[in-house]
Amino acid sequence: MLPNALPPSATDHVPVLAEEVRESLAVRPGETVVDATFGAGGHAALLASELRGSGKLIAIDRDPGARDYFQRFEKRAGVQARFLRGDFAVVLEQLASNGVEADAILLDLGVSSMQVDRPERGFSYATDAPLDMRMDTSADVTAAGIVNEADERDLATIFRRYGEERYARQIARAIVRRRKERPFERTGDLVDTIRAAIPAPARFGDGHPAKRVFQALRIAVNDELTSLETALPAAFDMLRAGGRIAVISFHSLEDRIVKRFMRDLERGCECPPDFPICVCGREPQLRPVVRKAVRPSPAEVAANPRAASARLRAGVKT
């Protein structure tokens, strides 16, 4: 397959929590919609269909390969569409500072199917491939760079903080010992080192033994949590009154940031409870669409196992 070729599944891409996204964002004809994580365009196609030929869709993605998907999407979108390449935090901040307003914004976090399904990108622990993991293939930092250059303490911190890996120290120590022989270049080499570093019972526990380390490296390579913390307020600033924002996260670190951000906007008066009247004047800026995170149905998980860890939170700007 050529580097920029679309995999066969691209045209049949099934977005996670599709019906829940549609209901949460409640897109209407004539509105401006932002898909801040375009990927293969599954959610964008759904949202564009809700515009019914009248409105605008802005697609954002840092992955250069997303432009090929967008060009295919644009031909059949039926609405005015624009693609902006870059980290969604940077692009959303630029749009907000330039006074661009939106009625609905979606952030679908984590790695996309177009990245996981292309082994050469190095995101998957299931296939031997170059140890890369860059969402933006023009970026300097790669997973191999971190694994080969970070000291043992920093590696353990990355694995523990971003992957919540129980055996972070043991794995970091094994990596440093192994790379003295030769540098890590392939995902398979890293998987083998992780397997050997953890206790035998843990190799057969919940999920693949390399899952948490690969998640941690991906987050570190792409600085995902920092981007999310910057993107959320920028997206909220873009929303018109009555505008809707929906965020899909795939692990607890992301969901915690989203939950904290939305809960802060939902709060009204912050005066001490013994004050007879409110003097702070703070009013809620966001009304939750649902109180708890929405999870995929058992039927969706059965049809698409990758959806299992998805969590959707959504709100309306008051």
Whether residue 176 is found in the same domain as residue 251: no
* Conformational region of residue 239, where left means phi above 0, alpha means psi within -120 to 50, and beta covers everything else: beta
Whether residue 195 is found in the same domain as residue 257: no
Whether residue 261 is found in the same domain as residue 126: no
Q: Does 63 map to a domain?
A: yes
Q: Does 215 map to a domain?
A: yes
Whether residue 46 is found in the same domain as residue 189: no
Q: Does 2 map to a domain?
A: no
Q: Does 26 map to a domain?
A: yes
Whether residue 134 is found in the same domain as residue 189: yes
Cα separation values, 243 from 38, 60, 161, 220, 237, Å: 19, 18, 34, 32, 10
Whether residue 20 is found in the same domain as residue 161: no
Whether residue 304 is found in the same domain as residue 212: no
| Residue-level pLDDT at 4 | 36
End-to-end Cα separation, the chain, in angstroms = 48
Full-model pTM: 0.89
**Closest among 231, 247, 239 to 285, alpha carbons compared:** 239
Q: Does 249 map to a domain?
A: yes
Cα separation, 10 vs 17, in Å, equals 17
Whether residue 13 is found in the same domain as residue 138: no
Domain residues for the domain of 26 are 8-114+224-317
Tokens for 121, please give them: 């990108």
Whether residue 13 is found in the same domain as residue 77: yes
Each residue's pLDDT tens digit, 2-60? 333 334 434 456 799 999 999 999 999 999 999 999 999 999 999 999 999 999 999 99
Q: Does 3 map to a domain?
A: no
Overall domain count for the chain: 2
Cα separation, 193 vs 176, in Å, equals 10
At which residue do the structure tokens 């898909």 appear? 35
Indicate the residue among 164, 189, 222 that finishes a domain: 222
Whether residue 107 is found in the same domain as residue 127: no
Whether residue 29 is found in the same domain as residue 99: yes
Residue 171: pLDDT over 70: yes
Indicate the residue among 164, 199, 222 that finishes a domain: 222
Whether residue 229 is found in the same domain as residue 158: no
Q: Does 285 map to a domain?
A: yes
Each residue's pLDDT tens digit, 177-220? 999 999 999 999 999 999 999 998 877 767 799 999 999 999 99
CATH number, position 40: 3.40.50.150
Indicate the residue among 173, 198, 222 that finishes a domain: 222
| Residue-level pLDDT at 111 | 79
Q: Does 33 map to a domain?
A: yes
